[in-house]
Amino acid sequence: MLSVFSPLLLGAVLGLAPIAGASAAEETADKPDLPRSMTWSSYDVGSAGYAEASAIADAFGRKFGTRVRIQPSGSAIGRLQPVLRDRAEIGFLATETFFASEGVADFGDRRWGPQDLRTLGGRPSSFGIFTAKDANIRSMEDLKGKRFAYVAGNPSINLKCDALLGAAGMTRDDVDARMFPTYNATMSSLAQGKADASCTTTTPSQLYELAESPRGIHWLEVDPDDKKAWERLRKIAPFLQPYEENVGAGLSEDNPVNIFAYRYPVLVVKADQDADLVYNFLKAFDQTYPMYKDGTAVMSRWKMDDAGTPPIDVPFHPGAIKYLKEQDIWTDEMQAWNDKRLARLNALKAAWKDAVAEGEGKSDEAFAKIWESHRQEALSSL
């Protein structure tokens, strides 16, 4: 597994000038108490998650002198293991955070099960169904019977596609679901005439190519005020929220679309991570925001008013809640959401213990069925 240091950190300036209007003593009192060095895990080099973690690491180095090692991985387990094994203090993760807390996908194996994770926040990242304009698909209901492209072996993307279909009361059985071997092949399938619709974020290069192709691009909307649609959607993916997007292929400020947002990257720690470390990390993260917010077209969405709020993949860590309360961001409604999300996680952890006991000595296939039965029973009890 590769490991890199942000090159600018090696020359970090440790003695920054005090903020105008504040005394040196006041600035010192408000300075986060950070370790001299930290390790963060992230997606592969070249990914948005890695680029954002690198920009934030550079800001930590320049402002506080903290040396950050970024440990990238192309797999969900490879990104999560350093956090679980105390080899990384923070994970810049994606939807594997939700899967790990639920004990599904890669984490449904009896070696895993629901993981006790917490979050500090996450940048909203939009996601929706896009179609070829010439396919004349103008509503979710128009997708019935159409060729819909999925990515083989990518539960993160496919779950969100299923959630969008669920918003319209549909499943994969209602479309002509076609599985493509790679993400690139899936996203290119519309321009190549092999599919009529798929789903992803709004900015992949393949979507810009589709928009410029003879087929064109069109985004399907999910009405943010359609409560029944959102109830159906959140039964499949409870961490999603309505989002109006104006950045991406075929989109602009004059031509936005109502789709949804999940969180990527998600800042993830173990439940037993030190509360003071979490608190000080989030304070530093917030204080360095002006230094990294223009790093990419979407990094401004790391503003705590947006990033430090639910819904999100897992419950918030108490250290993060402490800081968010100090900033007048955390509300009673958010606490109620957190309590409910924590109750779900605890119910699944208890159900996992029962499933493991019942599945002792049985095949992996038999255990998978036992776990799914216990999991659904636990969720139904909430």
Q: Is the pLDDT assigned to residue 4 strictly greater than 70?
A: no
The pLDDT confidence band at residue 358, using thresholds 50, 70 and 90, is very high
Domains assigned to the chain: 4-124+263-380 (3.40.190.10), 126-261 (3.40.190.10)
Task: Tell me which residue of 69, 83, 71 sits closest to 35, measured CA to CA.
Answer: 69
Residues 259, 221 contacting (CB under 8 angstroms) = yes
Distance of alpha carbon 238 from alpha carbon 235, whole angstroms: 6
Give the 3-state DSSP-derived string for 234-285, with helices as H, strands as E and coil as C.
Answer: HHHCCCCEEEEECCCCCCECCECEEEEEEEEEEEEEECCCCHHHHHHHHHHH
Distance of alpha carbon 132 from alpha carbon 85, whole angstroms: 45
pLDDT in tens, 128-138: 999 999 999 99
**pLDDT of 23:** 54
Distance of alpha carbon 326 from alpha carbon 330, whole angstroms: 8
**pLDDT of 26:** 52
Q: Is the pLDDT assigned to residue 81 strictly greater than 90?
A: yes
Distance of alpha carbon 13 from alpha carbon 125, whole angstroms: 32
Task: Tell me which residue of 293, 297, 299, 230 sits closest to 258, measured CA to CA.
Answer: 230
Residue 199, both tokens: 């789903």
The pLDDT confidence band at residue 75, using thresholds 50, 70 and 90, is confident
Phi and psi dihedrals of 127, rounded to 5? Answer: -155, 140
Give the residue-averaged pLDDT of 26-35: 80
pLDDT in tens, 180-214: 999 889 999 999 999 999 999 998 889 999 999 99
**pLDDT of 29:** 64
b/e code 199-219 from CB counts within 10 Å (16+ = b)? bbbbbbebbeebbebebbbbb
Q: Is the pLDDT assigned to residue 6 strictly greater than 80?
A: no
> How many alpha carbons fall within 13 Å on the CB side of residue 92?
29
Looking at the chain, the whole-number percentage of residues with pLDDT higher than 90 is 85
The pLDDT confidence band at residue 46, using thresholds 50, 70 and 90, is confident
Query: What value does the mean pLDDT of the chain take?
Result: 92
